[in-house]
Structure 1
Amino acid sequence: MSDDTIRLVTIGRILRRRRRLLTILAVVGALVGHGTSLLFPPRYTTTASVLLPGAWEERELLTQAEIATSSVVLDRAAATLGRPGAGGSELRDRVSAKADDGNIIKISGTADTPERAQQLSDQVAQQFVTFAARIAGDDTGPEAAAGPEALRKMVVQTNRRISDLAEAADPARTVESVQTRTELAKLRTALQEAVSKLDQADPATRKANMVVMGPAARPAGEAPPTSVQLTVAGALLFVLLAVVGHLTAARMSRRLRTEPEIAAALGSAVLGAVDVPAERPAHRPEDRDPLGRIRRLLGVDVRWDVPTPQASGDEAGRRIRYRRVCARVRDRLPAPRRLLVVVPDGDEIARRAAAHLVAEAKSDPSPSTSGERSSVKTRVVEVSVSRPLVPDDGAEAGALVVLSAGSWTAAELAGIAEACADAEYELVGTVLACPVQARPARTAGHPPDGATPALAGGDDARRGSG
């Protein structure tokens, strides 16, 4: 797994083999998300729109949006709403404004009830229009309107006086009279341009004359994140963290999977691989403690990072593999052929493979040099990988390590090899046990999988562990 690419099949294997754990984590995450939603009261958001007539540049619209959320506007809105202690700084986190297409400023307000959210948006929009008009000098009072009107009247009277003076000029049309009439015409043109500019600056046509486009709509639902969204997000987050944790642990795993790596760690050649029909292991006595029960309840007592067992051939084909391994072992053992089969403690697949090897060694003796048929006398021991200790009270000529690939690290296998060397056992070789999917039919007379066979040559089955 450490060198493999993370693929969808790997994630699917996690979801399939860890469904109990993921289901429990999803429930816990949903409860955490729901509890988080209880810490935050529900929020409701609505929007009021303000229209800005005339031609506006983009930067001017952004400026108006900033004015809508300024402290002056928010302070006035809070004072008008009559909320004690609710100033502009408190409303700043609950009011936002943005410039939209069509010269529209959208002001959004958030509150704990739909009614308050509606009132807040409407009041901020109204205060924004009032404050913006004041900044632009948009004063529509009688005094402000009387000034420009009086000025227009004076310009009209002056224009008439200029016409009278032009008509009363010297009719002889001397040079002086022509110059006078020309200057009066220029003065009249200048006054007309001034009146035109004054009309353009009229408050009725000024850009600051903003309009609130109706009251804000009362919100019908909560603003995100809602209680349901937090609950679902909590469940998905916990499941995602669990999947990422599994993938990270698999990436960091140092378990050996290939034959060259295993052979190098043990310092012995791999004599072959044998097939073991995969089945759910029976509960062992050491798994009856509370921790073991919790592991079975969560479904983590079975590894997820091993590939799905491939389909195996028939029983006869599997027995051929065992007989070939036994033949290689006989070739490496001196007479008398006594063998210590070492199995890592907790490796259920390897333990069943060792049982099959013992059965084949007993049922298929080979002829010795004297012409008599002899078999390999075996003894099976399970060795703890944490503190490996191999018993040395036997007369075996060598040791055979049986293990499953992808279950042990190089340090653990090196410890088993050192334990064999300390007990003065020479490693004859290594056998890899591979789980496969067996066919329903079984060959008659063959011992069932997982059965503990009688040891060949009359030796009693013994286990040793340290």
Structure 2
Amino acid sequence: MSDDTIRLVTIGRIVRRRRRLLTLLVVVGALVGYGTSMLLPPRYTTSASVLLPGAWEERELRTQAEIATSSVVIDRVAAALGRPKVSGVELRERVTAEVADGNIITVSGTADTPEQAQRLADRVAQEFVTFAAQILGSDTDPDAAARQEALRQLVVQTNRRITELADAADPGRTVESVQTRTDLEKLRTALREAVDRLDQADPASDRAVKADMVVMGPAARPAGEAPPTRTQLIVGGALLFLLVAVVGHLVAARMSRRLRTEPEIAAALGSTLLGTVDVPAGRPAHRPAGRGPRALARRLLGVDVRWDLPAPRKSGDEASRQTRYRRVCARLRDRLPASRLLVVVPDGDEIARLAAERLAAEAASDPSPGESSTGYPTLRVVEVPVSQPMLPDRAEEFGALVVLSAGSWTAGELAGIAEACADSGHEVVGVVLAGTVLAGPTRTAGRSRPAAPALPTADDATGVPG
């Protein structure tokens, strides 16, 4: 697993190098969203408000909101709209009630057309007000009302009796009579205050106020569809496919087992690194013919180019790049002077193939052709498939030089190439890594180089599958 930190530059690299594939996936996601919108009919939602006069606690308001969506109210709505066959569960899913500020309950209805949604919201509000008034009105206890009326009649009779006692007392002739009249008046006042407090505490009057609910006008006809709309589904499908594609690229990169560092690649091949060479970016890669429709589709989608490789670094001029190739040839000469080697390139590694061809051309341009003991080795380029690597048996060649690009192959694939070299009798004398660079200014290398001879392909090597 790669330990590279996922940064915005990584996301930008994915979008830039996989833009064709991402564009196709976005279009497919939009089509999937459009197909989903065709399966889901459009829905319209509108609301009606019900005002609850009086003093209500928050708990009571929540209870009234539950009553608005109760089965009794919903069944009455279905019967009033002429839809008795519609189940209460189905209709209840289209009706919601919420408590708003100011003792207001908002009742919402969802239907297939704006007209049906408006009728549903209005009917639910009306049936809710009717049912709530019935509940509040039925809370009055007939026995309690009768007892309260009897108490009022008793208070009236007591007032009359107090008046008779006050008139019967000797008005102002004795101290006892004055005191009696004063006590009777205090009793009359206390009794009147008790009756007033009893009237004020009457729950029936409070229920009457609360039962007077008001529908605050008809529901507005909806002008647009309720979410998710067709546009939202199309955009959501496109974004979902784009997100899945980007996340998939990131997960694949994190789980990748391709070797990137020089020591890991050299250890997998069981050899040493002889150097690194540069291949100018943008140079046309000559791909073998007959790759089939799958390879054509990969080229059209742009997935035949690795996206997780870093951007090519800047390079010097042609002379500096040629110097790298000559140094590799010099190291080969020091190891195996005047010998013949196979240059093994994994099939499909175009960067490595270009580097191997350049390296063979440099080796062919021996700077001291008259001194055979100090000349460059003769190199022959062969491409081997990594799935079933096979090399020609040892004949004139005395070893194999593996040329490949970093970050393209796993340890198992490179170990297979090393085993194929050992089976054919070729010792891996070294490893050369090839990388792409931005081409710098062109400058002559100080001497003219002869034209590179025609190089044999993998088909010319005995035992190499075409």
Q: Do they superpose with TM above 0.5?
A: yes
Q: Name the amino acid aligned to 1:346.
A: G
Tell me what 2:198 maps to: 194
- Give, in whole Å, the separation in 2 of the partners of 1:426 and 1:25: 47
- Give, in whole Å, the separation in 1 of the partners of 2:225 and 2:240: 22
Counterpart mapping for 1:324-343 below 5 A? 324-333=327-336, 335-343=337-345
Q: Name the amino acid aligned to 1:358.
A: A
Q: Name the amino acid aligned to 1:286.
A: G
CA contact (8 A) 2:319 2:443 kept: no
Tell me what 1:416 maps to: 417
Q: Name the amino acid aligned to 1:383.
A: V
- Give, in whole Å, the separation in 2 of the partners of 1:161 and 1:447: 139
- Pair 446,302 (structure 1): closer, same or farther in 2 beyond 3 Å: farther
Aligned with 2:332: secondary structure?
A: helix
> Which runs of 5 or more residues in structure 1 are unaligned?
none
CA contact (8 A) 1:203 1:209 kept: no
- Structure 1 length-normalised TM: 0.88
The Cα of 1:49 is off from its aligned counterpart by 0.6
Tell me what 1:401 maps to: 402
- Give, in whole Å, the separation in 2 of the partners of 1:139 and 1:393: 106
Tell me what 2:33 maps to: 33
Counterpart mapping for 1:290-439 below 5 A? 290-333=293-336, 335-366=337-368, 374-439=375-440
- Give, in whole Å, the separation in 1 of the partners of 2:344 and 2:319: 25
Q: Count how many residue pairs are aligned between Structure 1 and Structure 2.
A: 454
- Give, in whole Å, the separation in 2 of the partners of 1:244 and 1:132: 54
Q: Name the amino acid aligned to 2:269.
A: L
Deviations 1:199-220 (A, max 9, x none): x742686223211111111111
Whether 1:83 and 2:87 are equivalent positions in the alignment is: no
CA contact (8 A) 1:162 1:184 kept: no
Q: Percent identity?
A: 64
> Which runs of 5 or more residues in structure 2 are unaligned?
none
CA contact (8 A) 1:45 1:109 kept: yes
The Cα of 1:12 is off from its aligned counterpart by 1.1
The Cα of 1:454 is off from its aligned counterpart by 3.9
- Give, in whole Å, the separation in 2 of the partners of 1:189 and 1:17: 90
- Give, in whole Å, the separation in 1 of the partners of 2:205 and 2:231: 54
Whether 1:11 and 2:11 are equivalent positions in the alignment is: yes
The Cα of 1:177 is off from its aligned counterpart by 7.3
CA contact (8 A) 1:170 1:177 kept: yes
Q: Name the amino acid aligned to 1:30.
A: A
Of 268-277 and 304-313, the range deviating more from structure 2: 304-313
Whether 1:207 and 2:207 are equivalent positions in the alignment is: no
Aligned with 2:403: secondary structure?
A: strand
Tell me what 1:252 maps to: 255
Deviations 1:279-324 (A, max 9, x none): 342342132x121222122221222121111121100000111111
- Pair 159,133 (structure 1): closer, same or farther in 2 beyond 3 Å: farther
- Pair 309,162 (structure 1): closer, same or farther in 2 beyond 3 Å: farther
Tell me what 1:129 maps to: 129
Deviations 1:329-357 (A, max 9, x none): 11111x54222211111111111111111
- Structure 2 length-normalised TM: 0.88
Deviations 1:325-382 (A, max 9, x none): 111111111x5422221111111111111111111112134589x7866331222211
- Give, in whole Å, the separation in 1 of the partners of 2:320 and 2:161: 125
The Cα of 1:57 is off from its aligned counterpart by 2.0
Aligned with 2:285: secondary structure?
A: coil
- Give, in whole Å, the separation in 1 of the partners of 2:448 and 2:227: 66
The Cα of 1:136 is off from its aligned counterpart by 1.3
- Give, in whole Å, the separation in 1 of the partners of 2:452 and 2:348: 16
- Pair 152,218 (structure 1): closer, same or farther in 2 beyond 3 Å: farther
The Cα of 1:429 is off from its aligned counterpart by 0.9
Tell me what 2:242 maps to: 239
Tell me what 2:285 maps to: 281
- Pair 346,442 (structure 1): closer, same or farther in 2 beyond 3 Å: farther
RMSD: 3.2
Whether 1:167 and 2:166 are equivalent positions in the alignment is: yes
- Give, in whole Å, the separation in 1 of the partners of 2:122 and 2:52: 16
- Pair 371,345 (structure 1): closer, same or farther in 2 beyond 3 Å: closer
- Give, in whole Å, the separation in 1 of the partners of 2:157 and 2:133: 33
CA contact (8 A) 1:359 1:454 kept: no
Aligned with 1:285: secondary structure?
A: coil
- Give, in whole Å, the separation in 2 of the partners of 1:152 and 1:195: 11
Q: Name the amino acid aligned to 2:381.
A: V
Aligned with 1:339: secondary structure?
A: strand
CA contact (8 A) 1:380 1:463 kept: no
Tell me what 1:51 maps to: 51
CA contact (8 A) 1:402 1:431 kept: yes
- Give, in whole Å, the separation in 1 of the partners of 2:222 and 2:452: 73
